[in-house]
């Protein structure tokens, strides 16, 4: 796999391909980031973008993790003391998960977002951005939540963060696309250069295959889950014997293999008794998905294998959480 393929592996969208190819030609000392609001224990949504940071480190890039404490405060996630405690916990979990500590710069938003220059640039963006444009870039509100002025300021700050962290590439889930597009539209008017962006997919809801997996709604898998909890969640997951269910449904079990397991393991072994055909070994996602669709791989065997590999991935973070809480 060449550098460009590694950088863009499992990306849902690259903006723009030409800019990212230029980065791939000379990745040394280039900086990519993901921003995370410190709001709790890491879950599979966090880890999908963390997988991409691991890819970027392997490609030779430096990575930055923004622990966005000011953003979390604006979003009502607690006092700064509480938020920073959560941020420190998240940092430890990311390192346990596999980010190289020597090549990952962890930055608190409050380290630069309260400085005069940043604040004045933020006010400049507030002057030049219409209310409608800011609303389009806002994160989706939870059911029953009322929009506040802070919700409009939030995406404007994300737009600036990319500049102030001296980045070459912004990474986020596809739900961050609207913020990244705001950055590319508005930041040149402040005299700064717009950066390329890379977006990872959104995993479907585990139990239904609809919408997206969410820590606030439905079932998700986090580093708090015991082996037994994880097995229970995966075994109850929606997994029809097809790669593309009808309508808007997705197969979340296959998505988790594609975006979480195969990027981190060179091969996947499905253990089966000899009377059911014996073990199956897969070196790539496509072969596993084809076997599920053909009937060679039973959904129950796929789920059991997925639970085992996911457990191996999150176990170091689970242990780190226990250490921090003891």
pLDDT 10s per residue in the chain (326 long)?
899 999 999 999 999 999 999 999 999 999 999 999 998 899 999 999 999 999 999 999 999 999 999 999 999 999 999 999 999 999 999 999 999 999 999 999 999 999 999 999 999 999 999 999 999 999 887 767 888 999 999 999 999 999 999 999 999 999 999 999 999 999 999 999 999 999 999 999 999 998 888 655 567 899 999 999 999 999 999 999 998 887 788 999 999 999 999 999 999 999 999 999 999 999 999 999 999 999 999 999 999 999 999 999 999 999 999 999 98
- Consecutive H or E run containing 200: strand 197-200
Handedness of CA 307, 64, 120, 83 (dihedral sign): positive
Look at residue 245 in the predicted model and tell me its pLDDT: 84
How many whole angstroms separate alpha carbon 65 and alpha carbon 251?
30
How many whole angstroms separate alpha carbon 64 and alpha carbon 137?
22
Asked if residue 74 lies in contact with residue 169, where contact means CB atoms within 8 angstroms, the answer is no
Q: How many CB atoms lie within 10 A of CB 222?
A: 22
Give the distance from CA 219 to its chain's centroid: 17
Of 253, 243, 264, the C-alpha closest to 304 is 253
How many whole angstroms separate alpha carbon 213 and alpha carbon 192?
35
* Pairing state between β 280-282 and 268-270: antiparallel
φ, ψ of residue 150 in degrees (nearest 5): -60, -30
Look at residue 246 in the predicted model and tell me its pLDDT: 78
Our separate counts of H helices and E strands in the chain read 13, 8
Q: Give span(s): CATH 3.40.50.620, the chain.
A: 3-200
How many whole angstroms separate alpha carbon 35 and alpha carbon 82?
18
The reported pTM is 0.94
The pairs formed by 206-211 with CB atoms below 8 angstroms and a separation of 24 or more are 206/233, 206/234, 206/236, 206/237, 206/238, 206/252, 207/236, 207/237, 207/238, 208/238, 208/249, 209/238, 209/240, 209/245, 209/249, 209/250, 209/251, 209/252, 210/248, 210/249, 210/250
Burial (CB count <10 Å: 0-12, 13-18, 19+), residue 149: exposed
Look at residue 61 in the predicted model and tell me its pLDDT: 97
How many whole angstroms separate alpha carbon 45 and alpha carbon 90?
13
The pair of three-digit structure tokens given for residue 120, joined into one six-digit string: 């004045």
Q: Which residue has the tokens 């499992």?
A: 10
Cis omega (within 30 of 0) on the bond before 293? Answer: no
Q: Which fold has domain 3-200?
A: Rossmann fold (3.40.50)
Look at residue 216 in the predicted model and tell me its pLDDT: 55
Handedness of CA 161, 162, 166, 170 (dihedral sign): positive
- Consecutive H or E run containing 320: helix 299-325
Look at residue 30 in the predicted model and tell me its pLDDT: 97
Q: Give span(s): CATH 1.10.240.10, the chain.
A: 227-325
Look at residue 146 in the predicted model and tell me its pLDDT: 87
> Binding site residues for ATP, as ranges?
215
Q: Which fold has domain 227-325?
A: Tyrosyl-Transfer RNA Synthetase (1.10.240)
> Binding site residues, as ranges?
33, 154, 158, 161, 176, 215
Look at residue 300 in the predicted model and tell me its pLDDT: 97
Give the distance from CA 145 to its chain's centroid: 24
Look at residue 43 in the predicted model and tell me its pLDDT: 95
> Binding site residues for L-tyrosine, as ranges?
33, 154, 158, 161, 176
Q: Which residue has the tokens 């980031």?
A: 33
Asked if residue 129 lies in contact with residue 158, where contact means CB atoms within 8 angstroms, the answer is no
Q: How many CB atoms lie within 10 A of CB 16?
A: 13
């Amino acid at each position: 796999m060449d550098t460009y393929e590694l950088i863009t592996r499992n990306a849902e969208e690259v903006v723009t391909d030409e800019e990212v190819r230029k980065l791939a030609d000379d990745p040394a000392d280039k900086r990519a980031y993901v921003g995370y609001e410190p709001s709790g224990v890491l879950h599979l949504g966090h880890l999908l973008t963390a997988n991409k940071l691991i890819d970027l480190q392997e490609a030779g890039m430096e990575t930055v993790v923004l622990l966005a404490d000011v953003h979390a405060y604006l979003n009502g996630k607690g006092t700064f003391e509480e938020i920073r405690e959560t941020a420190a916990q998240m940092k430890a979990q990311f390192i346990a998960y596999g980010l190289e500590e020597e090549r990952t710069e962890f930055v608190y938003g409050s380290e630069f977002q309260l400085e005069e220059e940043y604040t004045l640039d933020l006010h400049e963006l507030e002057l030049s951005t219409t209310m409608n444009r800011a609303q389009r870039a806002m994160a989706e509100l939870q059911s029953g939540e009322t929009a506040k002025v802070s919700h409009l300021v939030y995406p404007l700050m994300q737009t600036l963060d990319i500049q102030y962290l001296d980045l070459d590439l912004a990474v986020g889930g596809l739900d961050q696309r609207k913020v990244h597009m705001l950055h590319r539209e508005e930041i040149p008017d402040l005299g700064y250069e717009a950066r390329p962006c890379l977006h990872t997919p959104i995993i479907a809801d585990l139990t239904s295959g609809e919408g997206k997996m969410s820590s606030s709604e439905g079932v998700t898998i986090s580093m708090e889950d015991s082996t037994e909890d994880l097995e229970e969640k995966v075994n109850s997951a929606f997994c029809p014997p097809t790669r593309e269910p009808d309508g808007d449904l997705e197969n979340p079990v296959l998505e988790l293999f594609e975006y979480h397991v195969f990027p981190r393991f060179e091969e996947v072994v499905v253990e089966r008794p000899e009377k059911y055909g014996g073990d199956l070994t897969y070196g790539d996602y496509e072969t596993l998905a084809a076997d599920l669709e053909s009937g060679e791989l039973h959904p129950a065997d796929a789920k059991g294998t997925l639970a085992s590999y996911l457990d191996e991935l999150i176990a170091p973070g689970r242990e780190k959480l226990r250490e921090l809480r003891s």
